Amino acid sequence: MIEVENLTKRFGTKLAVDHLSFTVQKGEVLGFLGPNGAGKSTTMRMVTGFLPPTSGSIRICGTSVIENPTAAKRHIGYLPESAPLYNDMTVTGFLNFAAEIRGLTGTAKKEAVSMAIETCFLESVARQSIDTLSKGYRHRTCLAQSLLHDPEVLILDEPTDGLDPNQKHEVRQLIRRLGEKKVVLFSTHILEEVEAACTRAVIVDRGRIVVDGTPEELKEKSGTGSLTDLFRQVTTRDTEPETSEDAA
């Protein structure tokens, strides 16, 4: 389970995340939606322990990310936005390397790499150099590394960004399957992913949660049955000026 309470992050005078509170249970896929600059990636980085919060608490499977980050991270598989890869490695070589970093050795490492390759449909490129891969296969390789240690919690930052329609469909279906047995939190600004992959979604605007519900509940709240209409109703366009409270 992910438990976030009153999570806040300031960068100088900029309030990027404003007292966010939410939970994600096992078997739930929570979509974290919002316009660019809404605080999605900053929240992901705090939940994974990459960034320290200004205030608030984060617990992963009952363990505090702030007080015991190493133990909390053992429960997490993380796919960051624009995840780095080593272009001179093969797919299998990179996954073996990532598995060793996770402390896997011997038979356990071999089985973990094999399962990650199978889960992410990487068999056809397993021996290819990463610098020869399409963007879709590079994404899948990054996703595969997050699954190596069979984490209870998956945190995925913009997992379909830049993919073509076929690749997006494959990744969304994979997220749904993974969400049947794991806790999944993923950020996106693509509204169609709510119905395609999520059991629940929140919309964030200027660091605050403004809507929370199932895809059906979100469509009902729009008044028109359109997620696009709801999104436009509750989020601020980037051409609108910040209020004095936002800039505080």
Q: What are 111-130's pLDDT values in tens digits?
A: 999 999 999 989 999 999 99
Domain count, the chain: 1
Domain encompassing residue 38: 1-75+153-162+182-235
Asked if residue 63 is part of any domain, the answer here is yes
Query: If pLDDT is split at 50, 70 and 90, which confidence band does 190 have?
Result: confident
Mean pLDDT of 172-177: 90
Asked if residue 133 is part of any domain, the answer here is no
Asked if residue 187 is part of any domain, the answer here is yes
Q: Is residue 248's pLDDT more than 50?
A: no
* Helices 106-119 + 135-147 axis angle, to 10: 140
Asked if residue 53 is part of any domain, the answer here is yes
Asked if residue 141 is part of any domain, the answer here is no
- Give the CA angle between residues 85, 192, 224 to the nearest 5°: 155
Share of the chain above pLDDT 90, in %: 69
Asked if residue 4 is part of any domain, the answer here is yes
> How many Å from the N-terminal Cα to the C-terminal Cα in the chain?
32
pLDDT for 139: 86
Query: If pLDDT is split at 50, 70 and 90, which confidence band does 242 have?
Result: low
Lowest mean pLDDT among 71-75, 202-206, 244-248: 244-248
Mean pLDDT of 171-197: 89
Question: What DSSP assignment string belongs to 106-136?
Answer: HHHHHHHHHHHHHHTT-GGGTTSBGGGS-HH
Q: Is residue 247's pLDDT more than 50?
A: no
Asked if residue 60 is part of any domain, the answer here is yes
The residue that leads in pLDDT, 89 or 83, is 89
Q: Is residue 146's pLDDT more than 70?
A: yes
Supply the CATH number for residue 201's domain.
3.40.50.300
Asked if residue 207 is part of any domain, the answer here is yes
